[in-house]
Structure 1
């Protein structure tokens, strides 16, 4: 149905082995979602990460073991298959500008990640917009979040330093949707966002 060739079946045991219990429901929700909206304060969202960028993140976790890091990278990359299938969800990302500046993995890794980000923005079902640092205090400084929609069914994912939560609570999803709208009003349009990303890349060249 999704135009996959067993990728999801291969992914499920990996997720169970390397992901905390509170996250394991979310990849299945991503698979069925028609629309995904994500706000990220500190990192490029997982669906848009390169392997080296993801690897650097996992290596930064306390007690990270090389074998487990590679399994986690594989699982993250396989989640991205939803963006390559014949009927991809519409995905919209709002990123704080600080996401572009933080040197995850060093300059080479970061430059490749930003190049990949610009490339992903050429896909009509992928939207990326930046909230400039000049916006000051915003409604997104507390924590990142993701909202997924499949018809009339909504779900949200919230993450903190040591835990996370997948919720279908209507009130919570509504509050996050309202927060999304506030952030959307601050975000630059896609053509300005591309200029911001390219400017950061030129500065780090």
Structure 2
């Protein structure tokens, strides 16, 4: 256990992380300016993070861990801090997402979090009533961290079906949308990621009430995450899983094949240029 956690076990995760960066920095006999030189991050950012006033990125945590010879402790604390930025009810899903070997998702409104750019995620999170800047930034970092599952030695298969309206909804403005669709095209070039688009002209009503994700886990187990306006729901009840699987199969059967979907995304990207 670190010295700081012994002193103040009630501190917020970002405060714990910042205090540990400060402790390791002082142990190494470094000023904030010198640490800034070693890590290539600004002195002002280091100050904000040491005071627990800014959410650090993974690269910041790793750079400080290396520069201060923290032996992986700062990386571990960073992971705890970003996990704490997620709602309590969502944290169980994070473990499922990491364990899953295949993920199937339907998204009628926005690009799924696992494929969002930082700017797009920020725009989505800012749209929630009462969203405050520092809380939004913490959630953006946490969302980007989830995408680390694709850096595993064996990343999961991700099958995405998007409503065509997602390509046209101006979230964050033209440049944000252009970059987001570019991100979709790049992601789709991976053999482990497939994106299909459900055409608007079909007028399909199946699934319009909300998005969901089906996680396939080792041992043929399946768990579902259902989105809602308030709190999402995670369930592995066989009746729920079967019902959602039927909805997904129906939607996917009516979606464009992958090569046609990619062409639609390319055309949409040009519209935002």
TM range (shorter): over 0.9
Equivalent residue number for residue 88 of structure 1: 155
Alignment of 1:93-104 (within 5 A): 93-104=160-171
Show structure 2 runs of 5+ residues with no match: 1-61, 63-71
Q: Deviations over 1:4-63 (max 9, x none)?
A: x976763343222x2222211111101000110000000000000000000111111112
Equivalent residue number for residue 147 of structure 1: 214
Equivalent residue number for residue 198 of structure 1: 266
> How far apart, in 1, do the equivalents of 2:144 and 2:153 lie?
18
Show structure 1 runs of 5+ residues with no match: none
Equivalent residue number for residue 135 of structure 1: 202
Q: Deviations over 1:149-187 (max 9, x none)?
A: 113211000011011111010110011111111011111
Are the equivalent residues in 2 in contact too, given 1:138–1:183 (CA < 8 A)?
A: no
> How far apart, in 1, do the equivalents of 2:240 and 2:175 lie?
39
**TM-score with structure 1 length normalisation?**
0.93
- 1:24 aligned to which of 91, 94, 115: 91
Consecutive aligned runs of 4 or more in structure 1 exceeding 6 Å deviation:
5-9
> Considering only aligned residues, what root-mean-square deviation do their CA atoms show, in Å?
1.5
Higher share of residues assigned helix: 2
Corresponding pairs, count: 200
Residue 204 (structure 2) pairs with residue 162 (structure 1): no
1:137–1:89 distance in 2 versus 1, CA, 3 Å:
same
Deviation of residue 204 (structure 1)? Answer: 2.5
- 1:54 aligned to which of 91, 115, 121: 121
Equivalent residue number for residue 130 of structure 2: 63
> How far apart, in 2, do the equivalents of 1:8 and 1:39 lie?
32
Are the equivalent residues in 1 in contact too, given 2:120–2:172 (CA < 8 A)?
A: yes
> How far apart, in 2, do the equivalents of 1:69 and 1:177 lie?
32
**Rg larger in 1 or in 2?**
2
**TM-score with structure 2 length normalisation?**
0.70
